[in-house]
């Protein structure tokens, strides 16, 4: 039996002026997913998440949350959802506890014990009385997650929870997300512009580019589908090509690229190829396996980066 869908969008779209920030988007998020919502800068992630949390109104399409149509039954639909969009806003001169008290009061009151529970969960105990302005970026991100968890929702939607964090901070947030999913049975949706971030934590994912869905499915299935290739940097070129031409059992095709050779092959054969290159006097600088989806994603991310 396939898992129950708890968040679905139907041809969801948002237009600003002449431009569609999100277009004809159909997402399907199932109970207990850690759902990675991936896209380069400007792809439409935050716009989508704003629509999911009913902070902005879609231009067209609809959202169903826990079986309720968001537009018609907003309160019911959002009852079991917590979220943060982009940088969470806090009163910098107040403590974490005070900030969460205010958020709690705005949401109809919250038990004091729950405030300390969520602070514990995100690892902010010990600093909870300090002013938020004294917090590191990572601590503020974690306070944002604490805020999203305050009402103990079944689903949390986090917009780029690891953005701007160092590798250690990213790892901590990833650990927290895994904990929320595995030990607290929460469904987690997180957006990111880094594939390897999502790959390490998500069970299913969607990629969007320029407001449109590119793919959606299981992380493992998506990343391992299609033929991969290997980027090889090695010298001297002539010897490299001789070895590649002779390795017909391993190499199905190879193409010259400006600073490397692209080899279409099974990743399992990389060690064997490496061995025969070395045996034939080739100096191997790098052999980098690239899966086709990964390569596609890097290509759209890089082209976005180069425009900035
Ligand atoms: N309020 C707005 N008015 C006009 N255009 C907007 C508005 N909000 C977003 N956009 C545009 O919609 C597109 C998608 O933006 P969005 O913030 O959703 O992208 P994103 O995927 O979250 O990007 P990032 O990774 O940079 O956060 C962009 O072209 C952006 O300029
Ligand atoms: Mg964004």
Each residue's pLDDT tens digit, 241-298: 999 999 999 998 999 998 999 999 888 899 999 999 999 999 999 999 888 788 888 8
Kindly give the distance from the C-alpha atom of residue 226 to the centroid of ligand 1, in angstroms, as a whole number: 31
Question: How does DSSP classify residue 132?
Answer: G
pLDDT at 307 over 70: no
pLDDT at 221: 87
pLDDT at 25: 98
pLDDT at 5: 95
CA dihedral 289, 291, 292, 297 (to 10 degrees): -100
Which residues are within 8 A (CB) of 16 and not within 5 positions of it... i.e. 6 or more apart?
Answer: none
- Residues with C-beta less than 6 Å from any ligand 1 atom: 16, 21, 39, 41-47, 193
Rounded Cα distance, 154 and 33, in Å: 11
Among 17, 20, 46, the mutation site with the greatest number of ligand 1 atoms within 8 A of its Cβ is 46
Domain 229-290: CATH class, spelled out: alpha beta
User: Which residues lie across from 37 on neighbouring strands?
Assistant: 191, 206
| Cβ–Cβ under 8 Å, residues 29 and 7 | yes
pLDDT at 2: 63
Q: Write out pLDDT tens, residues 106-145.
A: 888 889 999 999 999 999 999 999 999 999 988 998 999 9
The residue whose CA is least distant from atom 26 of ligand 1 is 41
| Cβ–Cβ under 8 Å, residues 97 and 129 | yes
Rounded Cα distance, 240 and 281, in Å: 9
pLDDT at 31: 94
Query: Which atom of ligand 1 is least distant from the CA of 193?
Result: 25
Overall average pLDDT of the 144-149 stretch: 93
Dihedrals phi, psi of 292, to nearest 5 degrees? -65, -40
Q: Write out pLDDT tens, residues 189-230.
A: 999 999 988 998 999 999 999 999 999 999 988 887 766 799
Kindly give the distance from the C-alpha atom of residue 260 to the centroid of ligand 2, in angstroms, as a whole number: 34
Overall average pLDDT of the 75-92 stretch: 88
Which of the ligands is closest to the CA of residue 40?
1
pLDDT at 226: 67
Q: Where are the domains of the chain?
A: 5-224, 229-290
Question: How does DSSP classify residue 154?
Answer: S
Among 44, 163, 192, 206, the mutation site with the greatest number of ligand 1 atoms within 8 A of its Cβ is 44
Residues with CB under 5 A from ligand 2 (ion): 45-46
Kindly give the distance from the C-alpha atom of residue 187 to the centroid of ligand 2, in angstroms, as a whole number: 20
Among 42, 52, 213, 214, the mutation site with the greatest number of ligand 1 atoms within 8 A of its Cβ is 42
Task: Give first-to-last CA distance, the chain, whole Å.
Answer: 45
pLDDT at 78 over 60: yes
Q: How many residues does the chain have?
A: 308
Query: Which atom of ligand 1 is least distant from the CA of 49?
Result: 18
The residue whose CA is least distant from atom 4 of ligand 1 is 16
Confidence band (pLDDT; 50, 70, 90) for 163? confident
The residue whose CA is least distant from atom 12 of ligand 1 is 21
The residue whose CA is least distant from atom 16 of ligand 1 is 44
pLDDT at 10 over 60: yes
pLDDT at 308 over 50: no
Beta strands in 128-259 (DSSP E): 155-158, 187-192, 204-209, 212-218, 229-235, 251-257
pLDDT at 305: 53
Token pair listed for 134? 């004294």
Evaluate whether 5-224 and 229-290 have a shared fold.
Answer: no
Overall average pLDDT of the 46-52 stretch: 97
Domain 5-224, CATH: 3.40.50.300
């Amino acid at each position: 039996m396939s898992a129950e869908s708890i968040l679905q969008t139907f041809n969801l779209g948002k237009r600003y002026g002449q431009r569609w920030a999100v277009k004809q988007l159909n997402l399907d998020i199932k109970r207990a997913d850690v759902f990675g919502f991936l896209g380069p800068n400007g792809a439409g992630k935050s716009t989508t998440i704003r629509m999911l949390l009913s902070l902005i109104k879609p231009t067209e399409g609809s959202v169903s949350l826990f079986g309720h149509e968001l537009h018609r039954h907003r309160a019911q639909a959002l009852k079991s959802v917590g979220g943060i969009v982009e940088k969470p806003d806090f009163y910098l001169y107040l403590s974490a506890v005070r900030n969460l008290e205010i958020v709690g009061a705005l949401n109809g009151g919250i038990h004091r014990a729950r405030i300390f529970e969520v602070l514990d969960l995100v690892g902010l105990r010990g600093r909870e009385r300090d002013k938020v302005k004294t917090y590191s970026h990572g601590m503020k991100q974690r306070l944002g997650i604490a805020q999203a968890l305050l009402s103990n929702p079944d689903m949390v939607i986090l917009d780029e929870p690891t953005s701007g964090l160092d590798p250690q901070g990213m790892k901590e947030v990833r650990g927290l997300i895994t904990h929320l999913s595995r030990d607290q049975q929460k469904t987690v949706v997180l957006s990111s512009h880094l594939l390897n971030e999502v790959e390490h934590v998500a069970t299913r994912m969607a990629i969007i580019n320029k407001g449109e869905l590119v793919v959606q499915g299981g992380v493992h299935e998506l990343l391992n589908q299609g033929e991969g290739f290997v980027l090889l940097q090695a010298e001297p070129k002539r010897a490299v090509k001789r070895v590649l031409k002779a390795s017909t059992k391993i190499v199905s095709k190879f193409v010259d690229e400006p600073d490397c050779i692209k080899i279409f092959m099974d990743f399992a054969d990389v060690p064997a190829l490496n061995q025969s290159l070395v045996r034939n006097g080739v100096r191997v600088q790098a052999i980098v396996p690239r899966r086709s989806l990964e390569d596609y994603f890097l290509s759209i991310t890089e082209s976005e980066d180069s425009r900035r």
